[in-house]
Amino acid sequence: MSSQDPKIRIGRINYTNVWPIYYYFPELMNSSEVEIIEQVPTSLNQAMKAGSIDMGPISSFAYGESFEQYLLYPDLSVSAYGEVNSILLFHEKPLREIANGHIVLPTTSATSVNLLKIILEKFYNGKPTYEYAQPNIAQMMERADAALLIGDDAIKENWRNKTYMITDLGQEWAKWTGQWMSFAVWAIRKETAEQYPELVAEAFNAFMASKAKAHNDPLEMMQEAQDAVGGTSDYWHHYFHTLCYDFGPEQWDGLALYYKYCYELGFLPKPVSIALWSENKVARVTE
Ligand SMILES: C=C(O[C@@H]1C=C(C(=O)O)C=C[C@H]1O)C(=O)O
């Protein structure tokens, strides 16, 4: 970002799960100050790391990989306590029977693929083999005992599915740990926070206001989700109310445990600390 062009490049996950945070954002933030870049999570993770996006949601795992480069907005995440409805494993046999099998993972995800590895390797004592593929269940299952989908791919496949058992990874995580799980967090590159403190504060206020407005008056957004993706109004009501967009002590605890397991299993190279952005200072949550 050059000083002649003080536009913040903000990422957006191209799944319905983030709609509440963005639905009213354009009317709350001056459009000459921001550019929104919509991609699947793994593309956003890479763009944020490379500095071609300045802030926005990334996989929580990607924060764990590069936490020294980022601050996290408080009170914004894509989290769940128990069912998520859009992080789904499709399989033919019970989990304990496929824990040493062949698992196909989607190229779109970083958090959930490592969450699945924790579940199979730590909780079920398995040692599966893994392969990455485009999120297409028919192709994935040609050669697999189980296939993972996230986001709208998971939602639509769940509606279509008549063949497979389905495990919701949020539910599985809560069953074994009793904890929350945060799948995406809102990261800001540190140099952006230093260079453009007012814009970063303005964007935070607009995200928070959109989240509150979408929570208090969700019907228009839900109708639009139904028109764009399909499903029923009951489905979207349930979906948006099951997801939680907060990022507070309960979510920090769940995420700290996820990072601990990722480190212990060798998925992350070092212990992660969660550093929050605030208007005047950096607050550190975990060491
Ligand atoms: C709840 C979800 O969380 C997502 C899962 C992600 C991941 O696995 O890396 C990243 C961002 C979130 O969109 C979802 O995709 O539906």
Mean pLDDT, range 265-286, rounded to an integer: 85
pLDDT score of 6: 60
Mean pLDDT, range 144-160, rounded to an integer: 98
Same-domain check for residues 17 and 72? yes
Residue 30 or 14, more confident: 14
**Ligand 1 atom closest to 243 (CA):** 1
Condensed to tens digits (0 to 9), the pLDDT of residues 26-79 reads: 999 888 889 999 999 999 999 999 999 999 999 999 999 999 999 999 999 999
Same-domain check for residues 257 and 116? no
pLDDT score of 23: 97
Same-domain check for residues 151 and 14? no
Residue 2 belongs to a domain: no
Same-domain check for residues 116 and 162? yes
One-letter-per-residue 3-state SS of the chain: CCCCCCCEEEEEECCHHHHHHHCCHHHHCCHHHEEEEEECHHHHHHHHHHCCCCEEEEEHHHHHHCHHHEEEEEEEEEEECCCCCCEEEEECCCHHHHCCCEEEEECCCCHHHHHHHHHHHHHCCCCCEEEEECCCHHHHHCCCCEEEEEHHHHHHHHHHCCCCEEEEHHHHHHHHHCCCEEEEEEEEEHHHHHHCHHHHHHHHHHHHHHHHHHHHCCHHHHHHHHHHHCCCHHHHHHHHHHCECCCCHHHHHHHHHHHHHHHHCCCCCCCCCCEEECCCCEEECCC
Mean pLDDT, range 212-216, rounded to an integer: 96
pLDDT score of 5: 57
Residue 286 or 179, more confident: 179
Last residue within a domain, chosen from 177, 196, 225 = 177
Atom 12 in ligand 1: which residue has the minimum CA distance?
184
Same-domain check for residues 257 and 202? yes
Residue 1 belongs to a domain: no
pLDDT score of 32: 86
Last residue within a domain, chosen from 177, 193, 208 = 177
Distance 78 CA to ligand 1 centre (A): 7
Cα within 13 Å of Cα(269), Cβ side:
6
Residue 43 belongs to a domain: yes
Residue 204 belongs to a domain: yes
Same-domain check for residues 99 and 66? no
Residue 95 belongs to a domain: yes
Is 88's pLDDT higher than 70?
yes
Distance 268 CA to ligand 1 centre (A): 18
**Structural domain span for residue 103:** 87-177
pLDDT score of 7: 84
pLDDT score of 284: 63
Atom 14 in ligand 1: which residue has the minimum CA distance?
151
**Mean pLDDT lowest for which of 198-212, 228-242, 270-284?**
270-284
Last residue within a domain, chosen from 125, 158, 177 = 177
Distance 4 CA to ligand 1 centre (A): 34
pLDDT score of 31: 80
Is 84:241 a contact under the CB 8 Å cutoff? no
Same-domain check for residues 189 and 167? no
Query: How much is the ipTM here?
Result: 0.98
Residue 190 belongs to a domain: yes
Q: Of all residues in the chain, what percent carry a pLDDT higher than 90?
A: 92
pLDDT score of 279: 80
Is 137's pLDDT higher than 60?
yes
Confidence class for position 3, pLDDT limits 50, 70, 90: very low
Is 2's pLDDT higher than 50?
no
pLDDT score of 40: 97
Closest CA relative to residue 41, chosen from 86, 102, 103: 86
Same-domain check for residues 204 and 158? no
Residue 256 belongs to a domain: yes
Q: Which of 42, 87, 258, 268 to mutate to test the pocket of ligand 1 (most atoms within 8 A of CB)?
A: 87
**Beta carbons within 10 angstroms of residue 250's beta carbon:** 15
Same-domain check for residues 65 and 196? yes
pTM above 0.90, yes or no: yes
Cβ burial of 66 (10 Å; 0-12, 13-18, 19+) is middle
> At 211, which amino acid appears?
K
Residue 19 belongs to a domain: yes
Same-domain check for residues 278 and 185? yes
Is 123:95 a contact under the CB 8 Å cutoff? no
Q: What average pLDDT does the structure give for the chain?
A: 95
Is 1's pLDDT higher than 50?
no
Residues with CB under 6 A from ligand 1: 13, 15, 17, 41, 59, 78, 84, 86-87, 109-112, 150-151, 183-184
pLDDT score of 282: 55
Confidence class for position 283, pLDDT limits 50, 70, 90: low
| CATH number reported for the structural domain that contains residue 154 in this entry | 3.40.190.10
Same-domain check for residues 51 and 103? no
Same-domain check for residues 162 and 200? no
Tokens of 255: 């995420």
Tokens of 185: 């967090």
**Mean pLDDT lowest for which of 52-66, 77-91, 269-283?**
269-283
Question: How many domains, the chain?
Answer: 2
